[in-house]
Amino acid sequence: MYQFNREEYNKRMEWYVDARFGMFIHWGLYSIPARGEWVRSVEEIPKEDYMKYFYEFDPKDYDPKKWARAAKEAGMKYVVLTAKHHDGFCLFDSKYTEFKSTNTKCGRDLVAEYVEAVRAEGLKVGLYFSLIDWYHDDFPHYGDRQHPMRNNPAYTNENRNWDNYVTFMHNQVREICTNYGQIDVLWFDFSYDDMMGEKWGATKLVNMVRELQPQVIIDNRLEASGQGYGSLATGNPTPYHGDFVSPEQIIPPHGIRDVNGDPLNWEACITMNNNWGYCARDKFFKPSSMIIKKLVECVSKGGNMLLNVGPDAYGNIPPESMQILSEIGAWMKKNSKSVYGCGLAGIEKPDYGRVTRNGNLLYYHMFENTMGPVPLTGIKPGTIKKIRLLCDGSEVPISDSWVHTDYPDIVFANLGPDPVLPDAVDTVL
Ligand code: JFZ
């Protein structure tokens, strides 16, 4: 029986808190229509019509080694793949459904290959598993609140047996936790209305998962949606409490704390464009410079960032996403020390950027191009030993000359009269 234990919890969270940066991968049949992973619900596509993608599915370029390499090159430390999304299609060889990749033209257990590839790169392995299943006849097919299938006769499946569904869902989770070696992150998605907690048989489910995978880190969506902290924040965790809060498409304004004011672990999942699943016409990609700053913001607030890619029907990560990943990687190569193992700075945010902290080390991220004396707000004169530029280790004088009468309480890093632009995105001291 699983019971919350603070020490065990902190221990299993160690690698994850150090990692700070991971890759989310949304991929499945919906990559063929290429209008996002909710396409079946949003467009109210009947099951029979959706099946055409199942008969067509044959991702000729699927090579998870390429995905894993791209993640690693970007400086990411873990990867989370949609083993099954809401449409119910399994990228793994499940005994409990015929709706799976091994029954398509491609005939492969895609999760097995993925797990091996990610591990081979030394990255932690995560799997996303949808609690919602639009394919299963015992699941009420009413979608979400924005796009309810509730009133659409095409989706009214009668005579449902909820217990059947829960047993089926638990069986699939058991397969995931049994057939693929060590799983480092399990990302359940998601709870809504009364579909929450024990409705999923959550205590039983988590007891099973934690027995099969004692070290696994579980998100909070067995008892929360994309909003809401879950019971870890209340100081009275349920047996199915989340190990981290999973804010979606938002970076929490002040980080996240529990009732006692202690920082909680969280992970902001963020898309590069406006869709999780591949969307052929969505070219609204965020610039890599913005994503880097957002990653730093997450770390400075004590959180992780899970950055999404949506590979296409052939299994290729879109070129725009590859470009963004490589640009982030270039910055990370020089500056990742200010990300890994870092967290809440605990000091005032300077107006030009953010501060991350690793023990006694403070990293001042200058998002603005800087020149002359830069105020290191939040620390007192005489309390620091030295200042170095992170990208090249070069010495930056502590500017005593600016500790003059006007600013007696402020330490300045004297970048000198010439503008210092080693990294125009985010220069780190
Ligand atoms: C969920 C999924 O529906 C979506 O397809 C994607 O996988 C994302 C990462 O997770 O999206 C949600 C879940 C909950 C809410 C909003 C989006 N919510 O409750 O506001």
Asked, as a colleague might, if the bond just before 21 is cis with ω within 30 of 0, I would say no
Residue nearest to atom 15 of ligand 1 (CA): 226
- Alpha-carbon distance 274 to 276, whole Å? 7
Encode pLDDT of 188-222 as tens digits. 999 988 889 999 999 999 999 999 999 999 999 99
User: Would you say the CB of residue 267 lies under 6 angstroms from ligand 1?
Assistant: no
Q: Is the pLDDT of residue 148 over 60?
A: no
The response to whether residue 189 sits with its C-beta less than 6 Å from ligand 1 reads yes
Contact 204, 170 (CB under 8 A): yes
- For the Cβ of 316 lying below 6 angstroms from any atom of ligand 1, the answer is no
Residue 89 near ligand 1, beta carbon < 6 Å: no
Question: What's the chain look like in SS3?
Answer: CCCCCHHHHHHHHHHHHHHCEEEEECCCHHHCCCECCCHHHHCCCCHHHHHHHHHHCCCCCCCHHHHHHHHHHCCCCEEEEEEECCCCCECCCCCCCCCEHHHCCCCCCHHHHHHHHHHHCCCEEEEEEECCCCCCCCCCCCECCCCECCCCHHHCCCCCCHHHHHHHHHHHHHHHHHCCCCCCEEEEECCECCECHHHHCHHHHHHHHHHHCCCCEEECCCCCCCCCCCHHHHCCCCCCCCCEECCECCCCECECECCCCCECCEEEEECCCCCCCCECCCCCCCCHHHHHHHHHHHHHCCEEEEEEECCCCCCCCCHHHHHHHHHHHHHHHHHHHHCCCCECCCCCCCCCEEEEEECCEEEEEECCCECCEEECCCCCCCCCCCCECCCCCCECCECHHHCCCCCCCCCEEECCCCCECCCCCCEEC
pLDDT band of residue 156 (cuts 50, 70, 90) is low
Question: By alpha-carbon position, which residue is closest to atom 12 of ligand 1?
Answer: 226
pLDDT of residue 262: 96
- The atom of ligand 1 lying closest to the CA of 24 is 9
Pocket test for ligand 1, best of 82, 190, 282, 309 (most atoms within 8 A of CB): 190
Query: Which residues are CB-neighbours of 314 under 8 A, at least 6 positions away?
Result: 59, 60, 61, 62
Q: Between 285 and 148, whose confidence is greater? A: 285
Q: What is the whole-number distance in angstroms between the Cα of residue 412 and the centre of ligand 1?
A: 44
Q: Looking at the predicted structure, is the pLDDT value of residue 332 above 50?
A: yes
**pLDDT for position 76:** 99
- Is the model's pLDDT at 419 over the cut of 70? no
Atom of ligand 1 nearest to the CA of 269: 9
Reported as a single tens digit per residue, the pLDDT across 245-261 is 999 999 999 999 999 99
Q: Does the pLDDT at position 186 exceed 60?
A: yes
Residue 145 has pLDDT above 70, yes or no: no
User: How much distance in Å is there from the Cα of 248 to the middle of ligand 1?
Assistant: 7
pLDDT confidence of 228, banded at 50, 70, 90? confident
- The average confidence (pLDDT) of the chain is 92
More confident residue, 321 or 405: 321
Contact 320, 334 (CB under 8 A): no
- Report which ligand 1 atom has the smallest distance to the Cα of 225: 19
Distance 129 CA to ligand 1 centre (A): 12
Instruction: Using the mean position of ligand 1's atoms as its centre, give its distance from the Cα of residue 190 in Å.
Output: 7
- Residue 416 C-alpha to ligand 1 middle, in angstroms? 48
Tell me which residue has its CA closest to atom 14 in ligand 1. Answer: 226
- In which band, very low, low, confident or very high, does the pLDDT at 227 lie, cut at 50, 70 and 90? confident
Closest ligand 1 atom to Cα of 128: 7
pLDDT grade for 382, boundaries at 50, 70 and 90: confident
pLDDT tens by residue, 51-89: 999 999 999 999 999 999 999 999 999 999 999 999 999
The finding on whether 180 has its CB within 6 A of some atom of ligand 1 is no
Ligand 1 within 6 A of 228 CB? no
The reply to whether ligand 1 has any atom less than 6 angstroms from the CB of 227 is: yes
Please identify which residue in the block is written with the tokens 């067509």. 56
Distance 421 CA to ligand 1 centre (A): 39
CA 192 to ligand 1: nearest atom: 19
| Alpha carbon nearest to ligand 1 atom 2, residue | 189
